[in-house]
Each structure stands twice: as structure tokens, then as C-alpha cells.
Amino acid sequence: MDKAVVLRGITKRFPGIVANDGITLEIEKGEVHAIVGENGAGKSTLMKILAGIYQPDEGEIYIFGKRERITSPGRAIELKIGMVHQHFMLVNRFTVLENIILGAEKRAGMVIDEQKCRKVIGELLSLYNFSLDPDARVEEISVGQAQRVEILKVLYRGADILVLDEPTAVLAPQEVKELFANLRRLKEEGKTIIFISHKLDEVLEIADRITVLRRGRVVGTVVPSRVTKEELARMMVGKPVFMKLEKTPVPAGDVLLSVKDLVVRENTGKPAVNGVSLEIRGGEIYGIAGIEGNGQKELAEAIIGLRKTSSGQVTICGRTATGLSIREIRDLGVAFIPEDRHRQGLVLPMKVWENMILGYHRKKEFLKKPSLNLKTAREFTEKRVKEYSVRLSSIDQSIDGLSGGNQQKVILGRELSRDPRVIIASQPTRGLDVGAAEFVHEELLKKREEGKAILLISADLEEVLSLSDRVGVMYNGRITAEFRPEEVTPEDVGVYMLGGGVKAGEGA
Amino acid sequence: MKRKYLITVMRILAPVLAIVLSAFISSIVILAIGKSPWQVFYTIFRFSLSRLDSVAIILYNATPLIFSGLAVSLGFRMGLFNIGVEGQYLIGAFFAALAGFTLKGLPAVIHLPLVILCGALGGMLWSFIPIYLKVKRGVHEVISTIMLNYISYSLIHYLIADVFMDRTQKLLDGLGSMLARTPKLPPSALMPKLHGLLGLFGIELPRHVYLNWFFPLGLLMAGLTYYLLMYTPFGFELRAVGQNQEAARTAGIKPERVYMVGFLLSGAVAGLVGLSDLLSYFGYMDLDFPRNYGFDGIAVALIGQNNPFGIIVSAMLFGFLKRGAEGIQTLLNVPMDTIVILQAVMIMSIVVITKVMNDYIKRLEKKEDVRVCSSQNSSLQV
């Protein structure tokens, strides 16, 4: 029997990073094949290639035994590949039926043949045992139901291969159960399912085979019955080789950053940070581990003043920072390396030197009476560029054209060269290649030796454990455990990251 | 470096291409009404450029559009769409007129600057309403400024025809009726023409040309705007907020404050739009006071690509077309609407062409980056 999907040597490069590096993978017809890996391992890129959104730079794709080039999402549908996106693409005001047929209406002359559509959808619903009212408006149905609409959309278009991108991320535990029941039924009917996730419990429950990706490469393909969760986690994270970073002992200084009972709410009123307390001394790196979306981002943004705090207190260098403006907080000596450098760190169309002084452009040295002092700004930039070996053709170049690693160096140069006392680094190596990531690590350690207090937030467990002096695990808006990295293994921390250790239940 | 050169060339080429394309499309329109496109275009050029007074009229036509384009571009640069320049300049012109006819006996050196200042103040005041609503209440500036334009039309009408109407107008016995207009402004409030200065260079302009000192003032304003945007810390913040509000906020800039100050500046410049007409041609404000400069300013800013110097050029282009329209109307009996069509087509082509070109440039850059990076990687592995 033909394989449903065969990938050979798929490589995809983005500026500064190889997202997929020679991926070879076979997916049998009628199996549930899970693809797991950490954030940034290349799962999404691979699936986007399969869905026709990206084109691979190298490699071959075979669909049901035939070599194909998936040139567009439309072509993917023709090849019977259906993508169920993590973020729903539904028209809220339309009914379930209207959403399903949208763009693929069965017609009778000029008008939509609603009866025919209704019949086809009715058949699909009963064949796969989906409970769904075709006439309900999407805005009125639950998240789990909306996801079923997405699945039906691709089935209606005749998909035989379903790609589900992190389908459980938005679901409550009982909805996950229902989804799995649906998936099993689809499998019985001969559909092939590719299931992307980083939740190991779920993958072990539903998948026939599991392929693990790490840093754009396939680590291996395993069968759930012959592997434990811990083994899988190790494959995902890599061997717990502590990077060979020289960590000289630094005498602890004063408490420079202190957070007390901090509560930060989302717009919906739900607390994203729910009573976090921590203290960081000079010469100390405090790492926060945790699966993304557990309040890390909100914590960082609250400290720097980007987010309002509901209650609790932030103290920086002995002074209350709660309620101050971002500029005032920065002036207390806080440097911020934001997790999304394109959205928060840089103004992309602007020049390199303009980005290098952004936020500090009203400092004395960059002003000359009514105007900016372009000369000192440029000198400052040239110096940082040399110091951080940023690769560029000119500091007048738009920062758009720099690779991710070099863009991050510009941010480091801007934030760290002003002798800050507290550094908040949020996912500082995300999307960087190994060399650039190493550079960032060394910089952070250098600052530690200089006696700065550093809050390091990262989804990369290896990074957190090898850099930090203390590690807190954040889960559901709380710090649920605190370790010294030398006392624990990544697996121990992993348990807490998944919500274990405290109270089981309530999926991550 | 070579790529950068190419990009600059393409940036300049885009409007030129758009003009050519729109001339081509307009030719079809001209053919459709049974005239020769060649003759029409030839007449536009000959009529507009063959005589010095005609050139001066083009500059006079361009004057309000320079201010208007600058006002709109200030909004665009910070990511806001100030459609309200229309209303702001009418209110500004009225404030200026009010300061002109109520204050008496002041010397020109005090009176005229005061009148101009009042114009800017009026525009600023009218722009305060939408930006306050936006910053404090999240009201979208497009909606509020459009609505305020209508309000300003009616308000001006009321003020001119009711409250401040000049009832002392001397009419010939039994002839005509009173004009709905404000009292005339005294000479101390009027802007001198450029005739004197140009006379020094041997350029004699006839009396029917109203080119005045607002034209050089407009050029100066463009220079100031450029300086503000590119060289001052506030201009830096304004551009940063316009291009990535989130990053600007993270860097400690308060976007709301930038919006407030920037929009008020835009309104102040808008307040000067109508003054060239008011203080040299009319000398009073009436119900026929020119309209649409505010909307034309959007087109001017768009074609000038929000660059102050580009705006000067595109304002002159509009002034030229307006003059040319008068020419083909009188000489060839071609309706003025042809020019309006030409303008509209030109705006559309420029939007399309710059978009296509920018996308093309972006793609070029991306490709180049991937190539450079992968070659760097492979050289690392070797």
C-alpha cells in the first residue's frame, strides 16, 4: 500500500535560521501520526510546507506515492490535504453550514444549491458522528464545536490527509476527549491524520506513531507503546548536556528586583499572573521555565510597565516601580529584551542607527538643542556594531534587511550598553541560530558577573537550566516550584511545567 | 550598494510611471469625447508654461495645496488619517478673517502675523476635537474628522451669513443684493504679493496674478516639516509610532502624547491652507470661499509619498493641471472634468504602482537576505 505522505530531505531556510534541515519522514495511510517538538523545532514550518503556504528550498514530497509540488493552499486541497489551523478561520456571523461551504459552494446555476450542501454536510456529520447543528451561528458555539467546523471544512473539500496544528491548545480537557473520539472515527474511515503538538500525554494517547523534531531535524520516530513520557521529553529537549558555559561564582549583591504578590489580569479579567513573588539579587540570573502562555510574558510586561498590575508590588533598586511609566521604569536602570523583537523590539522600516537609540533618543548625549545629535548617535551605533560584531553593510540600512541574530544584537547593544542594573530578557534567543544564541548567552553571563540582576524568561529549558542561578517554574500564572539548576534534571522540571507536582488535572 | 541605488531609482520612477500611465488612460477618455489627446496635452503644456504670468498662477494654485499636503502627511507619518484638513482650514481661515476685520489700527508687522497665527490656532482647535476623542475614547479619527468637516461647512455658513455678515455693504440704488460675506479685512491684515520682489529680478507680473508671500512660506514650511520629522526627537518619535506603535511604546514613548501633539501640529498647518486665498485674493470670507483643498491635500500627500519635498512637487503638478484645465476649456472647448479625470486616474495609478513596486523591492531584499545568510552558514560549516 502507498504511503500517504513521504517527505525526503525537506529543507527550508529563513534569514538567519534553517527552520527545516533535511527532514525525511514517512506517514502511512490511515494512521494518526504525531509530530512533536519544542517551540521553534520546525513543526509549523513543515506543516506549512505540506499545506502549500511555504515552498521548501530543497527536498521532495510524495503524496500517495506520486511526487508532487504543493505550490499553493489550493493545490494542497486538490491533493486531498486539509489543514486545520490552530487559530480558527471562521466567519462569526455565519452559520456552521455557511462557514463549511464558504468558497466551495455547490451551485445550481447562479445560486447556491443549499439543499445539496445541507445533504452532503448531513452525511458527513452522521458518518463521523459529529454532534453539530448546521444552522447554529459560529459566534454562539463553543471552541470545541468551532474546531469541529474547521475539521468539517476540510472533509467537505474531500481531504484524506488532515493536518491538525496544536488542536488541543485551545480546548478544555473534556473537549479534548471529544476531539480524540472524533479523530479515532476519522481514522476508522481511512483518513490519515497528522497531529502536531508539544503535549506529550495527549500524543501518547492518540498517536500510532510519533516523530520528534528538534532544531529543524528529525530526532526519531517512535511507537507510543514502546516509549515513556520521560524518554519522549528527552528526545524533544535533547540530551541534558549543560552547555559549556563558564559560570564563575559571583557574590550575591543587594536585592535589585523584587516582585511581591503580583497579579496581572488579561483584558477578559482572567488573571494571567496570579500572585507571583520573587527576588533577584545583583550578580544573579533568575530563570523562569514554563510552557508558553502560563503568564511569563505578562509578568515581564508588568515589570517594565507595559501592562497594568491589578495588585502586588514591583520594587526596582529599592524604589517602588508600580504605577510608573515605562520611561520612568527604564530610567531606574531596567533594560528590556522583549520576546517579539519585530513587534516590540524594533521599528523595522527604520534605520539601524535609529533603532539603536530608540527609547534613549532623549538622553543628553543624543541631543543638540532642538534636534537630535546625529553625530553622537551614529558614533554610538558604530561603536556598538563593532563591539557586538553586528553584520551589516551600513548603519543607514533599514534594520529590516538584517538577519534575526544581528537584529537581536542591535537590541542587546541598545539595552545593555547603558549600564542597567536590572535586565529582563524574554525569550532572548528565540529564532536565533546556534552561534547567535551562544553570543546572547555569553552577554547575559557577562552582565551577571558585572553584578546585574537578570530575569531570564525562556521556553528553552536547556537554556534556563544552564544559565540560571535559580529557576522558577511558572504554571497557570503562578510560580509552582523553585530549584537550583544543579539539583534537578530537565525531566524533574518538565513535570512541573506540565502542571504536575502541585496538583494533577486541569490540562496545561 | 547597487541594490540600494536600484531602490532609489524605483522610488523616483514610480510617480513618473504613474503619470505616464494616467496620461495614457486619459487619452482614451479624450478620444471618447472626440478630441485629439495630442492636441489637448500640447495645449495644456503650451498654455501653462509659455508665459511667465501663467507660471506664476501655477505657483499660486499650488500654494494652498502645499500646506494641505503637509498637514495630511503629518498625520500619515504617525499612522493617522487626517481627513479633517478640509474642516480645519475653513475654521482656520475664519479665525484669521475674524482677527483681520475685528482688530483695527494695528500696524501690518503686528496685524498680519497675528492673523496668520489665528489661522493656525483655528485649525489646531478644530483638530483638537477628533484627536482628543481618539486618545481618550478610542473614536476612530477618520469617522470623527469626516463628520467635523460637515459641521464646519454649516458652522462657517452660519457665522458668515448670520453672525458676522457685513451689513454695511454699499449697494448701488435698486441694484443687486448684499453679499453673504464678512467685513473686508483692512490692508494691514493682507499678505503682500510677490510682484515687488520679482520686480527686482526684472520679472514683471500683471495685476491679475495673486502669487503672494504664502508661496515661499509654504516652501519654508515644507523645509521645517522635513527638519521636524528627520532631525528632532519629536519627529523621531512620530515616525517610530507611525511605523511600529508597539515597539515605540515598549521603548518608553507614549503614543497617545505623540498622537496629540502631532495631530495638533497637523491641524495648525491645515489652518494656513486657506490664507493665501483669503489674504490676497478675496480680502474677506464669503460663502463661495474655495473648498476641497483639504481633500486635494490627501492626493497631494499620496503622490508626494509623504515627503515634504515630494509634496511641493506634487502640489505644483496639481497647480499645473488646474491651470491647464482652464486652457483646454477656453481654447479647445474641452470640459474641465477631463482634468479631474486625469487627476483621479493619476492618484489611482500611483497607489497601484507604488504598491506593486514596493512589494517587488521587498521580495528582492528577502531573496538577497536568504542568499547571504545561507552562504554565511555554509562558510561556517566548512
What is this model's ipTM?
0.84
Give the pLDDT of residue B174: 64
Domains of chain A and CATH, by start = 3-237 (3.40.50.300), 254-333+420-498 (3.40.50.300), 349-418 (no CATH)
Write out chain A's pLDDT in tens, 508 residues. Answer: 578 999 999 999 876 678 899 999 999 999 999 998 876 688 888 988 999 989 999 999 999 999 999 999 889 999 999 999 877 888 988 999 999 998 888 888 888 888 889 999 999 998 888 888 999 998 888 878 888 999 999 999 999 999 998 888 767 667 888 899 999 999 999 999 999 887 788 899 999 999 999 888 999 999 999 988 878 877 877 655 445 566 788 888 899 999 999 999 987 778 899 999 999 999 999 999 987 778 999 999 999 999 999 999 999 999 999 989 999 999 999 999 998 888 999 998 899 999 999 999 999 999 998 899 999 999 999 999 999 988 888 899 889 878 788 899 999 999 998 899 999 999 998 777 667 888 899 999 999 999 999 999 987 788 898 899 999 999 889 999 999 988 888 778 878 887 776 543 333 3
Beta bridge partners of A17: A14
Q: Which triple of cell numbers denotes residue B380?
A: 561556517
User: Does pLDDT of B1 surpass 70?
Assistant: no
> CB contact, 8 Å: B295 with chain A?
no
If you ran DSSP here, which 8-state letter would residue B325 be given?
Answer: H
Q: In this complex, do A330 and B252 lie within 8 Å of one another by their Cβ atoms?
A: yes
pLDDT score for B4: 63
Q: Which residue of A has its CA nearest to B244?
A: A347
One DSSP character per residue, B203-270 reads ----TT---BTHHHHHHHHHHHHHHHHHHSHHHHHHHHHHH-HHHHHHTT--HHHHHHHHHHHHHHHH
In angstroms, what separates the C-alpha of B137 from chain A's closest C-alpha?
Answer: 17
Q: What is the pLDDT of residue A244?
A: 58
User: pLDDT value at position A354?
Assistant: 96
- What's the grid cell of residue B193? 504679493
| B52-69 burial code (b ≥16 CB/10 A, e <16) | eebbbbbbbbbbbbbbbb
Closest CA to A339 of A374, A300, A303: A300
Instruction: Locate the chain A residue with the closest alpha carbon to B253.
Output: A359
Residue A25: C-alpha distances to residues A9, A45, A193 (Å): 9, 14, 14
Nearest-Cα distance to chain A for B359, in Å, is 14
Q: Is B374 on the interface with A (CB under 8 A)?
A: yes
CA distance B317 to chain A (A): 29
Whether B374 sits inside 8 A of A13 (CB atoms) is yes
Does the pLDDT value for residue B370 go beyond 70?
no
CB contact under 8 A, A359 and B251: yes
pLDDT over 90 percentage in chain B: 59
Chain centre distance of CA A306: 20
Residue A95, Cβ neighbours under 10 Å: how many? 18
Distance between A324 CA and the closest CA of chain B, angstroms: 11
Q: Can you give the pLDDT at residue B366?
A: 63
Query: Chain A residues contacting B, CB < 8 Å?
Result: 13-18, 304, 306, 325-327, 330, 336, 338, 343-350, 354, 358-359, 361-362, 366-367, 370-372, 374, 391, 393, 400-401, 403, 433, 435
Interchain CB contact of B366 with A (< 8 Å): yes
- In this predicted structure, what is the pLDDT of residue B377? 46
DSSP bridge pairs for A332: none
**Signed CA dihedral, A369, A374, A378, A384: sign only:** positive
Q: Give the pLDDT of residue A209.
A: 95
Task: Among B229, B244, B306, B366, pick the best mutation site for testing chain A contact (most A Cβ within 10 A).
Answer: B244
Q: Give the least confident one: A181-190, B9-18, B243-252.
A: B9-18
- What's the pLDDT tens digit per position in B114-133? 999 999 999 999 999 999 99
- Which of B233, B373, B374 shows the shortest C-beta gap to A367? B233
B258 interface with A at CB cutoff 8 Å: no
CA distance A15 to chain B (A): 5
Q: Which residue has the cell 563558564?
A: A246
Distance from CA of B6 to the nearest CA of A (A): 14
Contact B247 A14 (CB under 8 A): no
Phi, psi of A87, rounded to the nearest 5 degrees: -95, 125
Tell me how far apart the alpha carbons of residues B298 and B348 are, in angstroms, rounded to a whole number. Answer: 12
Question: Quick one: pLDDT at residue A444?
Answer: 94
Question: What average pLDDT score do residues B295-303 get?
Answer: 92
- B148 contacts B87 by C-beta, under 8 angstroms: yes
Distance CA B162, CA B185 (A): 18
Decide if B98 contacts B111 (C-beta within 8 A).
no
Chain mean position to CA A374: 37
Grid coordinates given for B236: 523621531
Residues 6+ apart with CB under 8 A from A276: A259, A261, A262, A295, A299, A312, A474, A477, A478, A479
- Contact between chains at A15 and B377 (C-beta distance less than 8 A): no
Query: What pTM, to 2 d.p., does this model score?
Result: 0.78
* B interface test, pick of A361, A373, A381, A433 with most B CB neighbours within 10 Å: A361
Percent of chain A with pLDDT over 90: 56
Grid cell for residue A120 = 452532503
The whole-angstrom distance between B107's CA and the closest CA on chain A is: 32
Straight-line distance from the first to the last Cα atom of chain B, in angstroms, rounded to the nearest whole number: 27
> Given an 8 Å threshold on Cβ–Cβ distance, is B252 in contact with A372?
no
Instruction: Indicate the SS3 state at residue B10.
Output: helix
B11/A contact by beta carbon, under 8 A: no
Q: How confident is the model at residue B294 (pLDDT cuts 50, 70, 90)?
A: very high
Q: Is B232 on the interface with A (CB under 8 A)?
A: yes
Question: In A, which residues are within 8 Å of B254 by CB distance?
Answer: 325, 327
Nearest to A362 among B233, B376, B380 (CB): B233
Please, are residues A209 and A33 in contact by the beta-carbon 8 Å criterion? yes
Q: Spell out which residues of chain A touch residue B233, defining contact as CB-CB under 8 Å.
A: 361-362, 366-367, 371-372
* CA distance, residue A464 to nearest chain B CA (Å): 24
From A345, A391, A435, residue closest to B247, measured CB to CB = A345
pLDDT value at position A493? 84
How do residues B131-187 score in pLDDT, each as one tens digit?
999 999 999 999 999 999 999 999 999 999 989 988 887 766 666 677 889 999 999
Task: Report, as an integer, the average pLDDT of B74-95.
Answer: 96
Q: How confident is the model at residue B367 (pLDDT cuts 50, 70, 90)?
A: low
Q: Shortest Cα distance from B252 to chain A (angstroms)?
A: 4
Nearest to B369 among A326, A367, A403 (CB): A403
In this structure, the strands spanning A81-84 and A217-222 are unpaired
Which residue would you say has higher pLDDT here, B279 or B343? Answer: B279
- The pLDDT value given to residue B332: 87
CA-based nearest residue to A7, from A41, A19, A200, A20? A20
A141 CA to centre of own chain:
27
Choice between B306 and B19, residue whose per-residue pLDDT is larger:
B306
**Residues 331-350 in B contacting A (C-alpha not used; CB under 8 Å):** none
Taking the Cβ of residue B195 and every Cβ of chain A, the question of whether any pair is shorter than 8 Å is answered with no
Nearest CB partner across the interface for A344, out of B247, B369, B372: B247
Domain boundaries, chain B: 66-168+177-295
Q: How confident is the model at residue B303 (pLDDT cuts 50, 70, 90)?
A: confident
**pLDDT number for residue A234:** 78
Average pLDDT of chain B is: 89
Q: What is the pLDDT of residues B173-228, one digit of tens each?
A: 666 677 889 999 999 999 999 988 888 888 888 888 999 999 999 999 999 999 99
